[in-house]
């Protein structure tokens, strides 16, 4: 998915795969989204890196646009439909588990409560999609 600058922008080959999938599931509004390619790259970058929204590199556009699109699509179930579409067309199954030997001590206020609403599920789905985008980019390179 990266073009060498480390920002996670889609290459033309990778975007050619993702664009029809996204267009098939995205909601239709009064106006089309502004620079969808860059905004999706920003969302994937954020979930790949586990960063805060405000940490999105400036090259990927305004962080607020990416955050708003992610939240709006999460509430509408777009990320679930996109994952289903990718799995149908590319035969991707997520069954592998990766273990990391690193352990990090949690803050005493981290009680482990579940996040509420569709955002929690969408966060996980977008992480899977971001990893899949990176794998597809490596295959096309």
Which residues, including other chains, have CB under 8 Å from residue 134's CB and lie 6 or more apart? Answer: 1, 2, 48
pLDDT of the residue at 41: 94
pLDDT of the residue at 4: 45
Sign of the CA dihedral with 19 first, then 23, 25, and 26 last: positive
For the chain, give every domain's residue range. 12-94+116-140
Nearest-Å Rg of the Cα atoms of the chain is: 16
Say whether 85 sits in a helix, a strand or coil: helix
pLDDT of the residue at 108: 62
pLDDT of the residue at 20: 93
Tokens for 17, please give them. 């795969």
Stated pTM of the model: 0.71
pLDDT average per 10 residues of sequence, the chain (141 residues): 58 90 89 87 91 93 94 92 87 58 62 62 83 76 61
């Amino acid at each position: 998915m990266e073009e060498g600058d480390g920002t996670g922008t889609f290459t033309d080959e990778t975007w050619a795969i993702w664009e029809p999938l996204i267009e098939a599931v995205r909601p239709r509004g009064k106006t089309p989204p502004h620079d969808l390619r860059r905004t999706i790259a920003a969302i994937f970058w954020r979930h790949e890196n586990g960063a805060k929204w405000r940490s999105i590199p400036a090259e990927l556009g305004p962080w607020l646009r990416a955050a708003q699109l992610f939240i709006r699509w999460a509430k509408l179930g777009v990320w679930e439909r996109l994952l289903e579409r990718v799995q149908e067309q590319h035969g991707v199954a997520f069954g592998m588990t990766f273990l990391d030997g690193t352990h990090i001590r949690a803050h005493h206020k981290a009680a482990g409560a579940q996040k509420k609403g569709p955002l929690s599920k969408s966060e996980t789905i977008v992480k899977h999609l971001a990893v899949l985008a990176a794998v597809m980019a490596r295959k096309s390179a």
